[in-house]
Amino acid sequence: MLTHVTDKGVDMVDISKKERSIRTAVAKGGIRLKASTLDLIAADGIKKGNVMAAAQLAGIMAAKRTSELIPLCHQIPLESVNVDLEVRDGRIEATCTVKTTFGTGVEMEALQGVTEALLTIWDMTKAAEKDECGQYPHTRIEDIHVERKEKLQCR
């Protein structure tokens, strides 16, 4: 049975009768950058500003706006959003952890947060990453996925 498509068009899934529970989702992904770009980030040498702080802020903001960006996604009261960034193996790895007490999960919010954090890193490092023809032969956003999700019954 389809949950979003009806004979009249589309509907948002009715979760009004679902029991509230504590829900957590963790999404991860990475962006591969040139070693020289990673060195610039470490030295706070990117002209646009602090790449890591901007990416964290963008990820948090994106998670909070998920229902505005994905059709029929529920507006979820988020209780916590964290974006952690780590430089490892020629890339920056992003982890977005989202928590709520609600009737549906927060996987989409975690995925939205990690994706926007990585896109912000790309945007802020474009000048350093472009080759002489304006292309990005080394830059890659990779492996965006849900690492885990949890659903605990409220007590």
Show me where the domains of the chain are located.
20-153
Second-level CATH architecture of 20-153: 2-Layer Sandwich (3.30)
From the list 11, 39, 44, 123, the catalytic residue is 123
Q: Is 123 a catalytic residue?
A: yes
Output the pLDDT for position 3: 62
- Pick from 148, 83, 88, 78: nearest CA to 114: 83
pTM of the predicted model as reported, rounded to 2 decimal places: 0.91
Lookup: tokens for 80? 């916590």
Q: d(Cα 30, Cα 117) in Å, to the nearest integer? A: 10
Instruction: Compute the distance between CA of residue 106 and CA of residue 103 in angstroms, rounded to an integer.
Output: 10
pLDDT per residue as tens, the chain (155 positions)? 556 666 677 777 878 888 889 999 999 999 999 999 999 999 999 999 999 999 999 999 999 999 999 988 899 999 999 999 999 999 999 999 999 999 888 999 999 999 999 999 999 999 999 999 999 999 999 999 999 999 987 55
| Predicted local confidence at residue 72, as pLDDT | 85
Q: Which H helix or E strand runs over 95?
A: strand 91-102
The predicted pLDDT at position 4 comes to 60
